[in-house]
Chains A and B, each alone.
Chain A
Amino acid sequence: MITEKDVQDLANLSRIKLSPNETQALMKEIGSILTYVDEIKKAPVGDAEMSQQASVGVIRNVTRDDISRDISSETREAILNAAPDREGDFVAVKRILS
Protein backbone atom coordinates (compact mmCIF):
# COMPACT_ATOMS: atom_id res chain seq x y z
CA MET A 1 0.00 0.00 0.00
CA ILE A 2 1.12 3.50 -0.81
CA THR A 3 0.78 5.91 2.09
CA GLU A 4 0.46 9.67 2.13
CA LYS A 5 4.04 9.85 3.36
CA ASP A 6 5.23 7.68 0.44
CA VAL A 7 3.65 10.11 -2.01
CA GLN A 8 5.22 13.08 -0.21
CA ASP A 9 8.63 11.35 -0.28
CA LEU A 10 8.30 10.68 -4.02
CA ALA A 11 7.28 14.29 -4.61
CA ASN A 12 10.33 15.49 -2.67
CA LEU A 13 12.67 13.24 -4.66
CA SER A 14 10.99 14.44 -7.88
CA ARG A 15 11.20 18.12 -6.88
CA ILE A 16 7.47 18.62 -7.38
CA LYS A 17 5.31 20.51 -4.91
CA LEU A 18 1.99 18.80 -4.26
CA SER A 19 -1.15 20.24 -2.71
CA PRO A 20 -2.84 18.15 0.02
CA ASN A 21 -5.71 17.43 -2.40
CA GLU A 22 -3.39 16.17 -5.11
CA THR A 23 -1.45 14.08 -2.60
CA GLN A 24 -4.69 12.31 -1.69
CA ALA A 25 -5.70 11.80 -5.33
CA LEU A 26 -2.25 10.54 -6.30
CA MET A 27 -2.22 8.11 -3.37
CA LYS A 28 -5.29 6.41 -4.85
CA GLU A 29 -4.17 6.59 -8.48
CA ILE A 30 -0.61 5.44 -7.88
CA GLY A 31 -2.01 2.64 -5.73
CA SER A 32 -4.26 1.36 -8.50
CA ILE A 33 -1.55 1.69 -11.15
CA LEU A 34 0.96 -0.22 -9.00
CA THR A 35 -1.62 -2.94 -8.38
CA TYR A 36 -1.96 -3.21 -12.14
CA VAL A 37 1.77 -3.34 -12.95
CA ASP A 38 2.30 -5.81 -10.09
CA GLU A 39 1.05 -8.37 -12.65
CA ILE A 40 4.66 -8.81 -13.71
CA LYS A 41 5.44 -10.45 -10.36
CA LYS A 42 3.53 -13.49 -11.69
CA ALA A 43 5.84 -13.75 -14.70
CA PRO A 44 8.26 -16.67 -14.96
CA VAL A 45 11.50 -14.73 -14.63
CA GLY A 46 14.48 -16.50 -13.07
CA ASP A 47 17.99 -15.39 -12.13
CA ALA A 48 19.26 -16.21 -15.62
CA GLU A 49 16.82 -13.80 -17.28
CA MET A 50 17.40 -11.11 -14.67
CA SER A 51 21.18 -11.11 -15.15
CA GLN A 52 21.22 -10.19 -18.85
CA GLN A 53 21.74 -6.66 -20.09
CA ALA A 54 18.83 -4.66 -21.44
CA SER A 55 18.88 -3.74 -25.11
CA VAL A 56 16.53 -2.81 -27.94
CA GLY A 57 17.26 -4.52 -31.22
CA VAL A 58 20.67 -5.67 -32.34
CA ILE A 59 23.76 -4.83 -30.24
CA ARG A 60 26.54 -3.16 -32.17
CA ASN A 61 29.39 -0.77 -31.62
CA VAL A 62 28.64 2.86 -32.37
CA THR A 63 31.48 5.35 -32.57
CA ARG A 64 31.96 8.83 -33.89
CA ASP A 65 34.81 11.27 -34.16
CA ASP A 66 35.45 13.33 -31.06
CA ILE A 67 35.19 16.75 -32.62
CA SER A 68 33.66 19.95 -31.35
CA ARG A 69 31.01 21.67 -33.41
CA ASP A 70 30.96 25.33 -34.19
CA ILE A 71 27.92 27.09 -32.81
CA SER A 72 27.10 30.48 -34.28
CA SER A 73 26.95 33.44 -31.93
CA GLU A 74 23.32 33.81 -32.95
CA THR A 75 22.52 30.29 -31.71
CA ARG A 76 24.52 30.89 -28.56
CA GLU A 77 22.47 34.01 -27.86
CA ALA A 78 19.24 32.11 -28.52
CA ILE A 79 20.23 29.41 -26.04
CA LEU A 80 21.15 31.97 -23.37
CA ASN A 81 17.97 33.92 -24.01
CA ALA A 82 15.94 30.76 -23.39
CA ALA A 83 16.98 30.90 -19.73
CA PRO A 84 14.32 32.38 -17.45
CA ASP A 85 16.96 34.67 -15.90
CA ARG A 86 20.21 35.81 -17.47
CA GLU A 87 23.11 38.00 -16.40
CA GLY A 88 25.54 38.73 -19.21
CA ASP A 89 26.72 35.37 -20.54
CA PHE A 90 25.56 33.54 -17.42
CA VAL A 91 22.31 31.86 -16.47
CA ALA A 92 21.26 33.46 -13.19
CA VAL A 93 19.94 31.49 -10.22
CA LYS A 94 19.20 32.31 -6.60
CA ARG A 95 22.17 32.08 -4.21
CA ILE A 96 22.61 28.56 -2.89
CA LEU A 97 24.89 29.32 0.07
CA SER A 98 23.87 31.79 2.71
Chain B
Amino acid sequence: MKKIDIAQLTIQKAHDAMKSGDFTAVDLATVYLENIKKLDSEIHAYLEVFTDVIEQAEAADARFKDGTATLLTGIPCAVKDNILIRGRISSCASKMLEKYVATYDATAISKLRAEGVVFIGRTNMDEFAMGGSTENSAFGVTKNPHDVSRVPGGTSGGSAAAIAANMALISLGSDTGGSIRQPSAFCGVVGLKPTYGSVSRYGLTAAVSSLDQIGPITRTVADAEILFNAIRGKDVMDGTTISETTYGEKSASKNAKLTIGIPRAFMKLGGISPAVQDAFAAAELRFKKLGYTIVDVDLPNNAFALPVYYIINFAEVSSNLSRFDGVRYGFHKDGTTGVEDYFESRAEGFGREARRRILLGTYVLSSGYYDAYYNRANALRRLITGDFNTAFKKVDILMTPTAPSPAFKIGEKVSDPVAMYLEDIFTVTANLTGLPAMSIPAGMTQVDATGNPSIPLAVQLTASHGAEKVLFQAGKDFLGE
Protein backbone atom coordinates (compact mmCIF):
# COMPACT_ATOMS: atom_id res chain seq x y z
CA MET B 1 0.00 0.00 0.00
CA LYS B 2 1.10 3.56 -0.79
CA LYS B 3 2.35 5.75 2.08
CA ILE B 4 0.15 8.84 2.15
CA ASP B 5 0.70 11.63 4.68
CA ILE B 6 -2.98 12.30 5.39
CA ALA B 7 -2.21 14.70 8.25
CA GLN B 8 -0.91 17.22 5.68
CA LEU B 9 -3.36 16.41 2.92
CA THR B 10 -5.65 18.96 1.24
CA ILE B 11 -8.20 18.54 -1.55
CA GLN B 12 -5.80 20.12 -4.05
CA LYS B 13 -2.84 17.95 -2.98
CA ALA B 14 -4.93 14.78 -3.05
CA HIS B 15 -6.34 15.71 -6.44
CA ASP B 16 -2.89 16.41 -7.90
CA ALA B 17 -1.55 13.12 -6.53
CA MET B 18 -4.46 11.11 -7.94
CA LYS B 19 -4.18 12.90 -11.27
CA SER B 20 -0.44 12.28 -11.58
CA GLY B 21 -0.84 8.69 -10.41
CA ASP B 22 1.12 9.08 -7.13
CA PHE B 23 -1.72 7.25 -5.47
CA THR B 24 -5.22 6.15 -6.45
CA ALA B 25 -8.58 6.95 -4.89
CA VAL B 26 -8.61 3.35 -3.64
CA ASP B 27 -5.22 3.89 -1.94
CA LEU B 28 -6.53 7.05 -0.33
CA ALA B 29 -9.81 5.52 0.84
CA THR B 30 -7.89 2.53 2.23
CA VAL B 31 -5.66 4.79 4.35
CA TYR B 32 -8.70 6.50 5.87
CA LEU B 33 -10.47 3.19 6.48
CA GLU B 34 -7.34 1.88 8.26
CA ASN B 35 -7.25 4.99 10.39
CA ILE B 36 -10.91 4.61 11.29
CA LYS B 37 -10.30 1.00 12.27
CA LYS B 38 -7.42 2.12 14.48
CA LEU B 39 -9.03 5.15 16.14
CA ASP B 40 -12.80 5.12 15.95
CA SER B 41 -13.51 2.44 18.54
CA GLU B 42 -12.37 5.09 21.03
CA ILE B 43 -13.44 8.36 19.33
CA HIS B 44 -16.81 7.10 17.99
CA ALA B 45 -17.13 9.78 15.31
CA TYR B 46 -18.98 7.40 12.98
CA LEU B 47 -22.36 5.78 13.48
CA GLU B 48 -21.73 3.72 10.36
CA VAL B 49 -18.83 3.27 7.98
CA PHE B 50 -20.21 2.33 4.57
CA THR B 51 -19.35 -1.07 3.16
CA ASP B 52 -19.02 0.16 -0.43
CA VAL B 53 -16.26 2.75 0.14
CA ILE B 54 -13.76 0.84 -2.00
CA GLU B 55 -16.30 0.44 -4.83
CA GLN B 56 -16.97 4.19 -4.72
CA ALA B 57 -13.20 4.82 -4.84
CA GLU B 58 -12.84 2.45 -7.81
CA ALA B 59 -15.51 4.44 -9.65
CA ALA B 60 -13.53 7.60 -8.87
CA ASP B 61 -10.33 6.02 -10.22
CA ALA B 62 -12.18 5.18 -13.43
CA ARG B 63 -12.99 8.89 -13.81
CA PHE B 64 -9.31 9.78 -13.47
CA LYS B 65 -8.60 7.26 -16.23
CA ASP B 66 -11.30 8.50 -18.61
CA GLY B 67 -10.56 12.16 -17.97
CA THR B 68 -13.88 13.12 -16.34
CA ALA B 69 -12.44 13.63 -12.85
CA THR B 70 -13.07 16.95 -11.11
CA LEU B 71 -11.32 18.51 -8.11
CA LEU B 72 -13.50 16.54 -5.68
CA THR B 73 -13.41 13.16 -7.43
CA GLY B 74 -12.15 10.48 -5.05
CA ILE B 75 -12.08 12.81 -2.03
CA PRO B 76 -13.21 10.95 1.12
CA CYS B 77 -16.11 12.73 2.82
CA ALA B 78 -17.93 12.09 6.12
CA VAL B 79 -21.61 13.04 6.30
CA LYS B 80 -23.60 14.13 9.34
CA ASP B 81 -26.38 11.68 10.11
CA ASN B 82 -29.19 14.18 9.40
CA ILE B 83 -28.27 14.56 5.70
CA LEU B 84 -30.00 12.02 3.47
CA ILE B 85 -28.06 9.62 1.26
CA ARG B 86 -30.33 7.46 -0.88
CA GLY B 87 -30.47 3.85 0.31
CA ARG B 88 -28.64 4.64 3.55
CA ILE B 89 -29.92 4.94 7.08
CA SER B 90 -30.24 8.55 8.23
CA SER B 91 -31.08 8.39 11.92
CA CYS B 92 -30.38 11.94 13.18
CA ALA B 93 -28.77 10.00 16.05
CA SER B 94 -32.30 9.31 17.30
CA LYS B 95 -34.00 6.09 18.24
CA MET B 96 -36.97 7.55 16.35
CA LEU B 97 -35.15 7.10 13.02
CA GLU B 98 -32.74 4.31 13.96
CA LYS B 99 -33.85 2.17 11.02
CA TYR B 100 -35.03 4.89 8.65
CA VAL B 101 -33.61 4.44 5.15
CA ALA B 102 -33.52 7.53 2.92
CA THR B 103 -35.39 7.26 -0.38
CA TYR B 104 -33.56 10.16 -2.02
CA ASP B 105 -30.30 12.11 -1.94
CA ALA B 106 -30.11 15.52 -0.29
CA THR B 107 -29.22 18.17 -2.87
CA ALA B 108 -25.79 18.66 -1.24
CA ILE B 109 -25.20 14.91 -1.58
CA SER B 110 -26.33 14.67 -5.20
CA LYS B 111 -24.02 17.57 -6.09
CA LEU B 112 -21.06 15.82 -4.43
CA ARG B 113 -22.05 12.47 -5.92
CA ALA B 114 -21.94 14.03 -9.39
CA GLU B 115 -18.35 15.08 -8.66
CA GLY B 116 -17.39 11.55 -7.63
CA VAL B 117 -16.85 12.25 -3.93
CA VAL B 118 -16.36 9.08 -1.87
CA PHE B 119 -18.82 8.93 1.04
CA ILE B 120 -17.07 7.22 3.95
CA GLY B 121 -19.88 7.02 6.45
CA ARG B 122 -22.40 8.86 8.57
CA THR B 123 -21.27 10.74 11.64
CA ASN B 124 -22.60 11.07 15.16
CA MET B 125 -24.48 14.15 16.34
CA ASP B 126 -26.77 15.44 19.05
CA GLU B 127 -30.21 13.95 18.46
CA PHE B 128 -32.12 15.94 15.81
CA ALA B 129 -29.38 18.61 16.05
CA MET B 130 -30.20 19.69 19.59
CA GLY B 131 -27.28 20.14 21.94
CA GLY B 132 -23.76 21.41 22.06
CA SER B 133 -21.60 18.40 22.84
CA THR B 134 -22.79 15.31 20.89
CA GLU B 135 -23.70 13.83 24.27
CA ASN B 136 -27.38 13.85 23.28
CA SER B 137 -26.90 11.09 20.69
CA ALA B 138 -29.04 8.00 21.22
CA PHE B 139 -26.04 5.94 20.10
CA GLY B 140 -23.25 7.01 22.45
CA VAL B 141 -20.95 9.96 23.02
CA THR B 142 -18.28 11.07 20.54
CA LYS B 143 -14.95 11.99 22.14
CA ASN B 144 -12.64 14.87 21.33
CA PRO B 145 -9.63 13.47 19.44
CA HIS B 146 -7.32 15.97 21.21
CA ASP B 147 -8.40 14.80 24.69
CA VAL B 148 -10.78 11.87 24.94
CA SER B 149 -12.05 12.99 28.36
CA ARG B 150 -13.59 16.00 26.62
CA VAL B 151 -16.54 16.56 24.27
CA PRO B 152 -15.98 17.27 20.56
CA GLY B 153 -18.67 19.96 20.67
CA GLY B 154 -21.94 19.65 18.86
CA THR B 155 -24.18 19.10 17.25
CA SER B 156 -21.92 18.12 14.33
CA GLY B 157 -19.42 16.57 16.76
CA GLY B 158 -18.85 13.43 14.71
CA SER B 159 -18.12 15.36 11.52
CA ALA B 160 -15.61 17.63 13.32
CA ALA B 161 -13.93 14.76 15.20
CA ALA B 162 -13.61 12.77 11.96
CA ILE B 163 -11.62 15.62 10.38
CA ALA B 164 -9.49 16.28 13.47
CA ALA B 165 -8.56 12.58 13.74
CA ASN B 166 -7.91 12.21 9.98
CA MET B 167 -10.78 9.79 9.55
CA ALA B 168 -12.01 11.73 6.47
CA LEU B 169 -10.50 14.53 4.40
CA ILE B 170 -13.69 16.63 4.33
CA SER B 171 -17.07 16.46 5.99
CA LEU B 172 -20.54 17.93 5.92
CA GLY B 173 -22.24 19.26 9.02
CA SER B 174 -25.31 21.35 9.66
CA ASP B 175 -25.50 24.51 11.73
CA THR B 176 -28.63 25.72 13.53
CA GLY B 177 -27.04 27.82 16.28
CA GLY B 178 -23.34 26.99 16.01
CA SER B 179 -23.46 23.27 15.28
CA ILE B 180 -20.73 23.44 12.63
CA ARG B 181 -18.61 26.21 14.14
CA GLN B 182 -18.46 25.21 17.82
CA PRO B 183 -17.40 21.57 17.22
CA SER B 184 -14.89 22.85 14.63
CA ALA B 185 -13.51 25.16 17.33
CA PHE B 186 -13.37 22.37 19.93
CA CYS B 187 -11.64 20.01 17.48
CA GLY B 188 -9.21 22.54 15.96
CA VAL B 189 -10.57 22.49 12.40
CA VAL B 190 -12.27 24.94 10.02
CA GLY B 191 -16.07 25.14 9.94
CA LEU B 192 -18.30 27.37 7.82
CA LYS B 193 -21.96 28.24 8.38
CA PRO B 194 -22.89 29.68 4.97
CA THR B 195 -25.34 32.52 4.29
CA TYR B 196 -28.90 31.31 4.90
CA GLY B 197 -30.19 29.96 1.61
CA SER B 198 -26.84 29.51 -0.11
CA VAL B 199 -26.89 25.73 0.38
CA SER B 200 -30.12 23.81 -0.25
CA ARG B 201 -31.75 22.24 2.79
CA TYR B 202 -33.53 19.65 0.63
CA GLY B 203 -32.75 16.32 2.27
CA LEU B 204 -31.54 17.85 5.52
CA THR B 205 -33.87 16.66 8.28
CA ALA B 206 -35.33 19.90 9.61
CA ALA B 207 -34.55 21.02 13.14
CA VAL B 208 -35.21 24.77 12.94
CA SER B 209 -36.09 25.58 9.35
CA SER B 210 -35.41 29.32 9.58
CA LEU B 211 -31.94 28.73 11.10
CA ASP B 212 -30.58 25.47 9.61
CA GLN B 213 -27.79 25.47 6.99
CA ILE B 214 -25.57 22.68 5.68
CA GLY B 215 -21.88 23.59 5.53
CA PRO B 216 -18.32 22.24 5.26
CA ILE B 217 -15.98 21.10 8.03
CA THR B 218 -12.38 20.78 6.80
CA ARG B 219 -8.79 21.22 7.94
CA THR B 220 -8.01 24.23 5.75
CA VAL B 221 -9.93 27.31 4.64
CA ALA B 222 -9.12 26.50 1.00
CA ASP B 223 -10.83 23.12 1.40
CA ALA B 224 -13.87 24.72 3.03
CA GLU B 225 -14.10 27.08 0.07
CA ILE B 226 -13.92 24.25 -2.48
CA LEU B 227 -16.55 22.20 -0.66
CA PHE B 228 -18.83 25.22 -0.16
CA ASN B 229 -18.64 26.10 -3.86
CA ALA B 230 -19.52 22.51 -4.74
CA ILE B 231 -22.68 22.32 -2.62
CA ARG B 232 -24.05 25.86 -2.93
CA GLY B 233 -26.61 27.13 -5.39
CA LYS B 234 -30.26 27.74 -6.09
CA ASP B 235 -32.42 24.65 -5.83
CA VAL B 236 -35.97 24.30 -7.03
CA MET B 237 -36.55 21.85 -4.15
CA ASP B 238 -35.79 24.52 -1.51
CA GLY B 239 -37.58 27.82 -2.04
CA THR B 240 -35.33 29.61 0.45
CA THR B 241 -32.20 29.06 -1.64
CA ILE B 242 -30.47 32.09 -3.10
CA SER B 243 -28.30 32.60 -6.18
CA GLU B 244 -24.81 34.08 -6.19
CA THR B 245 -26.29 37.43 -7.17
CA THR B 246 -29.10 37.65 -4.59
CA TYR B 247 -26.96 39.83 -2.34
CA GLY B 248 -24.75 41.20 -5.13
CA GLU B 249 -21.26 40.02 -5.91
CA LYS B 250 -19.12 40.55 -2.84
CA SER B 251 -15.44 39.87 -2.92
CA ALA B 252 -12.38 41.38 -1.36
CA SER B 253 -9.55 42.21 -3.71
CA LYS B 254 -6.29 40.63 -2.69
CA ASN B 255 -4.72 43.92 -1.60
CA ALA B 256 -7.76 45.52 -0.01
CA LYS B 257 -7.24 46.53 3.59
CA LEU B 258 -10.13 44.90 5.32
CA THR B 259 -11.67 46.27 8.50
CA ILE B 260 -12.54 43.99 11.39
CA GLY B 261 -15.10 45.08 13.96
CA ILE B 262 -15.06 43.74 17.51
CA PRO B 263 -18.24 43.94 19.60
CA ARG B 264 -16.42 44.38 22.92
CA ALA B 265 -19.42 45.34 25.04
CA PHE B 266 -21.29 42.21 23.86
CA MET B 267 -18.25 40.01 24.45
CA LYS B 268 -18.21 41.03 28.12
CA LEU B 269 -21.53 39.19 28.53
CA GLY B 270 -20.09 35.93 27.30
CA GLY B 271 -18.20 34.73 30.37
CA ILE B 272 -15.09 34.17 28.27
CA SER B 273 -12.42 31.94 29.81
CA PRO B 274 -8.87 33.33 30.22
CA ALA B 275 -7.43 30.94 27.60
CA VAL B 276 -9.99 32.07 25.02
CA GLN B 277 -9.37 35.71 25.96
CA ASP B 278 -5.62 35.29 25.37
CA ALA B 279 -6.16 33.53 22.05
CA PHE B 280 -8.55 36.27 20.96
CA ALA B 281 -6.07 39.03 21.86
CA ALA B 282 -3.35 37.19 19.93
CA ALA B 283 -5.67 36.84 16.92
CA GLU B 284 -6.42 40.56 17.04
CA LEU B 285 -2.69 41.30 17.04
CA ARG B 286 -2.07 38.92 14.17
CA PHE B 287 -4.74 40.55 12.01
CA LYS B 288 -3.25 43.99 12.81
CA LYS B 289 0.18 42.78 11.71
CA LEU B 290 -1.37 41.48 8.50
CA GLY B 291 -2.58 45.01 7.74
CA TYR B 292 -6.20 44.71 8.85
CA THR B 293 -7.81 47.66 10.60
CA ILE B 294 -9.48 46.86 13.93
CA VAL B 295 -12.37 48.97 15.22
CA ASP B 296 -14.94 48.60 18.00
CA VAL B 297 -18.56 48.10 17.03
CA ASP B 298 -21.75 48.19 19.02
CA LEU B 299 -24.45 45.55 18.65
CA PRO B 300 -26.90 46.76 21.30
CA ASN B 301 -29.62 44.13 20.85
CA ASN B 302 -27.17 41.21 20.89
CA ALA B 303 -27.65 40.98 24.64
CA PHE B 304 -31.02 39.35 23.85
CA ALA B 305 -29.77 37.09 21.05
CA LEU B 306 -29.48 33.89 23.05
CA PRO B 307 -32.97 33.89 24.62
CA VAL B 308 -34.41 34.99 21.25
CA TYR B 309 -32.60 32.11 19.58
CA TYR B 310 -33.88 29.53 22.03
CA ILE B 311 -37.49 30.69 21.84
CA ILE B 312 -37.42 30.40 18.03
CA ASN B 313 -35.56 27.09 18.31
CA PHE B 314 -38.13 25.57 20.69
CA ALA B 315 -41.04 26.84 18.58
CA GLU B 316 -39.77 25.47 15.28
CA VAL B 317 -38.44 22.22 16.77
CA SER B 318 -41.81 21.42 18.31
CA SER B 319 -43.49 22.01 14.93
CA ASN B 320 -40.91 20.14 12.86
CA LEU B 321 -40.83 17.11 15.17
CA SER B 322 -44.62 16.79 15.16
CA ARG B 323 -44.30 14.75 11.95
CA PHE B 324 -42.78 11.87 13.91
CA ASP B 325 -45.93 10.06 14.89
CA GLY B 326 -44.95 6.40 14.63
CA VAL B 327 -47.42 5.89 11.77
CA ARG B 328 -45.78 6.66 8.43
CA TYR B 329 -42.15 5.94 9.25
CA GLY B 330 -39.82 5.76 12.19
CA PHE B 331 -40.11 4.23 15.63
CA HIS B 332 -43.45 2.77 16.66
CA LYS B 333 -44.61 1.52 20.02
CA ASP B 334 -48.09 0.13 20.51
CA GLY B 335 -50.55 1.69 22.92
CA THR B 336 -54.09 0.49 23.57
CA THR B 337 -55.63 2.99 21.11
CA GLY B 338 -54.47 4.83 17.99
CA VAL B 339 -53.95 8.05 19.93
CA GLU B 340 -51.99 6.23 22.61
CA ASP B 341 -49.70 4.92 19.89
CA TYR B 342 -48.56 8.52 19.39
CA PHE B 343 -47.95 9.04 23.10
CA GLU B 344 -45.97 5.82 23.47
CA SER B 345 -43.98 6.18 20.24
CA ARG B 346 -42.98 9.79 20.87
CA ALA B 347 -42.15 9.18 24.53
CA GLU B 348 -39.75 6.38 23.70
CA GLY B 349 -38.55 7.46 20.25
CA PHE B 350 -37.36 10.92 21.32
CA GLY B 351 -34.51 11.50 23.76
CA ARG B 352 -34.67 13.78 26.77
CA GLU B 353 -33.55 17.02 25.15
CA ALA B 354 -35.91 16.54 22.20
CA ARG B 355 -38.85 15.93 24.57
CA ARG B 356 -37.90 18.96 26.66
CA ARG B 357 -37.73 21.24 23.62
CA ILE B 358 -41.00 19.95 22.17
CA LEU B 359 -42.74 20.85 25.44
CA LEU B 360 -41.05 24.24 25.60
CA GLY B 361 -41.98 24.96 21.97
CA THR B 362 -45.56 23.99 22.66
CA TYR B 363 -45.50 26.41 25.60
CA VAL B 364 -44.09 29.44 23.73
CA LEU B 365 -46.52 28.86 20.84
CA SER B 366 -49.60 28.43 23.05
CA SER B 367 -52.24 31.11 22.55
CA GLY B 368 -51.70 32.82 25.90
CA TYR B 369 -47.95 33.21 25.45
CA TYR B 370 -47.52 33.53 21.68
CA ASP B 371 -47.08 37.33 21.73
CA ALA B 372 -44.91 37.41 24.84
CA TYR B 373 -42.47 34.84 23.52
CA TYR B 374 -42.60 33.91 19.85
CA ASN B 375 -43.73 37.22 18.35
CA ARG B 376 -41.48 39.23 20.64
CA ALA B 377 -38.53 37.00 19.76
CA ASN B 378 -39.18 37.56 16.06
CA ALA B 379 -39.35 41.33 16.58
CA LEU B 380 -36.01 41.19 18.38
CA ARG B 381 -34.59 38.99 15.66
CA ARG B 382 -35.26 41.80 13.20
CA LEU B 383 -33.66 44.39 15.50
CA ILE B 384 -30.57 42.19 15.93
CA THR B 385 -30.32 41.77 12.15
CA GLY B 386 -30.61 45.54 11.78
CA ASP B 387 -27.70 46.05 14.18
CA PHE B 388 -25.53 43.72 12.12
CA ASN B 389 -26.49 45.33 8.82
CA THR B 390 -25.58 48.73 10.30
CA ALA B 391 -22.24 47.38 11.53
CA PHE B 392 -21.42 45.99 8.08
CA LYS B 393 -21.68 49.50 6.61
CA LYS B 394 -18.53 50.27 8.63
CA VAL B 395 -16.66 46.97 8.71
CA ASP B 396 -16.06 43.96 6.43
CA ILE B 397 -15.83 41.36 9.17
CA LEU B 398 -16.93 40.93 12.77
CA MET B 399 -14.72 38.88 15.05
CA THR B 400 -15.57 37.14 18.34
CA PRO B 401 -14.44 33.91 19.96
CA THR B 402 -16.38 30.93 18.54
CA ALA B 403 -17.24 29.66 22.03
CA PRO B 404 -16.64 31.17 25.49
CA SER B 405 -14.41 28.28 26.58
CA PRO B 406 -12.47 25.42 24.99
CA ALA B 407 -13.87 21.87 24.93
CA PHE B 408 -15.37 20.93 28.28
CA LYS B 409 -15.34 17.57 30.05
CA ILE B 410 -17.79 14.86 29.06
CA GLY B 411 -20.68 15.00 31.54
CA GLU B 412 -19.80 18.48 32.82
CA LYS B 413 -22.92 20.27 31.51
CA VAL B 414 -25.31 17.41 30.87
CA SER B 415 -27.52 18.04 33.89
CA ASP B 416 -27.80 21.81 33.42
CA PRO B 417 -29.58 22.73 30.16
CA VAL B 418 -29.11 26.49 30.62
CA ALA B 419 -25.32 26.07 31.08
CA MET B 420 -25.25 24.05 27.85
CA TYR B 421 -27.28 26.75 26.05
CA LEU B 422 -24.81 29.47 27.13
CA GLU B 423 -22.16 27.73 24.99
CA ASP B 424 -23.94 29.16 21.93
CA ILE B 425 -23.79 32.85 22.87
CA PHE B 426 -21.36 33.86 20.08
CA THR B 427 -22.66 31.55 17.37
CA VAL B 428 -26.47 31.97 17.36
CA THR B 429 -26.43 35.49 15.91
CA ALA B 430 -25.23 34.27 12.50
CA ASN B 431 -28.24 31.95 12.34
CA LEU B 432 -30.73 34.56 13.57
CA THR B 433 -29.48 37.05 10.95
CA GLY B 434 -28.73 34.57 8.16
CA LEU B 435 -25.14 35.86 7.95
CA PRO B 436 -22.18 33.64 6.94
CA ALA B 437 -19.72 32.85 9.75
CA MET B 438 -16.62 30.70 9.96
CA SER B 439 -14.64 29.28 12.87
CA ILE B 440 -10.88 29.07 12.36
CA PRO B 441 -8.25 27.53 14.67
CA ALA B 442 -6.39 30.04 16.85
CA GLY B 443 -3.84 28.07 18.83
CA MET B 444 -3.90 25.50 21.59
CA THR B 445 -4.15 25.67 25.36
CA GLN B 446 -3.23 23.45 28.23
CA VAL B 447 -6.33 23.67 30.39
CA ASP B 448 -5.09 22.25 33.65
CA ALA B 449 -1.99 20.80 35.27
CA THR B 450 0.85 19.75 33.00
CA GLY B 451 0.74 16.31 31.56
CA ASN B 452 -2.73 16.80 30.12
CA PRO B 453 -3.01 17.18 26.38
CA SER B 454 -3.41 20.63 24.82
CA ILE B 455 -6.80 21.40 23.33
CA PRO B 456 -7.70 23.77 20.50
CA LEU B 457 -8.89 27.39 20.62
CA ALA B 458 -10.66 29.31 17.86
CA VAL B 459 -12.01 32.61 16.67
CA GLN B 460 -15.13 33.25 14.63
CA LEU B 461 -15.35 35.59 11.66
CA THR B 462 -18.74 36.83 10.44
CA ALA B 463 -19.31 38.68 7.17
CA SER B 464 -22.26 40.33 5.46
CA HIS B 465 -24.89 38.32 3.56
CA GLY B 466 -23.36 36.49 0.60
CA ALA B 467 -19.79 37.55 1.48
CA GLU B 468 -18.24 34.11 2.07
CA LYS B 469 -15.31 35.18 -0.14
CA VAL B 470 -14.35 37.82 2.42
CA LEU B 471 -14.31 35.13 5.13
CA PHE B 472 -12.15 32.84 2.97
CA GLN B 473 -9.65 35.61 2.27
CA ALA B 474 -9.32 36.64 5.92
CA GLY B 475 -9.17 33.01 7.05
CA LYS B 476 -6.40 32.17 4.59
CA ASP B 477 -4.46 35.30 5.61
CA PHE B 478 -4.79 34.37 9.27
CA LEU B 479 -3.74 30.75 8.85
CA GLY B 480 -1.01 31.57 6.31
CA GLU B 481 -2.58 29.43 3.57
Contact between chains at B195 and A94 (CB < 8 Å): no
Q: Which residues of A contact B259 (CB under 8 A)?
A: none
Contact between chains at B465 and A11 (CB < 8 Å): no
Nearest B residue to A10 via CB reads: B359
Contact between chains at A85 and B332 (CB < 8 Å): yes
CA distance A39 to B356 in the complex (A): 20
CA distance A64 to B236 in the complex (A): 7
CA distance A74 to B167 in the complex (A): 34
CA distance A93 to B340 in the complex (A): 12
Contact between chains at B307 and A37 (CB < 8 Å): yes
- Tell me the count of chain A residues lying within 8 A, CB to CB, of chain B: 49
Question: Smallest Cβ distance from A29 to chain B, in angstroms?
Answer: 6
A33 part of interface (Cβ distance < 8 Å): yes
Contact between chains at B344 and A17 (CB < 8 Å): yes
Question: Smallest Cβ distance from B220 to chain A, in angstroms?
Answer: 28
- Tell me the count of chain B residues lying within 8 A, CB to CB, of chain A: 69
Contact between chains at A83 and B376 (CB < 8 Å): no
Q: Which residues of A contact B342 (CB under 8 A)?
A: 15
Interface residue from A17, A40, A94 paired with B304 (Cβ < 8 Å): A40
Q: Which residues of A contact B236 (CB under 8 A)?
A: 64
Contact between chains at A40 and B307 (CB < 8 Å): yes
Question: Smallest Cβ distance from A3 to chain B, in angstroms?
Answer: 12
CA distance A57 to B195 in the complex (A): 9
Known pairs A36-B418, A84-B326, A84-B332; A45 contacts B376 (CB<8 A): yes
CA distance A75 to B327 in the complex (A): 18
Contact between chains at A52 and B382 (CB < 8 Å): yes
A78 part of interface (Cβ distance < 8 Å): yes
Task: Give B322-364 interface residues, CB cut-off 8 Å to A.
Answer: 322, 325-332, 337-344, 346-347, 350, 355-356, 358-360, 362-364
**A residues at B contact (CB < 8 Å):** 6-7, 10-11, 13-18, 22, 26, 29-30, 32-34, 36-43, 45, 49-50, 52, 54-58, 60, 62, 64, 75, 78-79, 82-85, 91, 93-96
A/B interface sample: 5 pairs, CB < 8 A: A15-B346, A16-B355, A57-B465, A58-B246, A78-B103
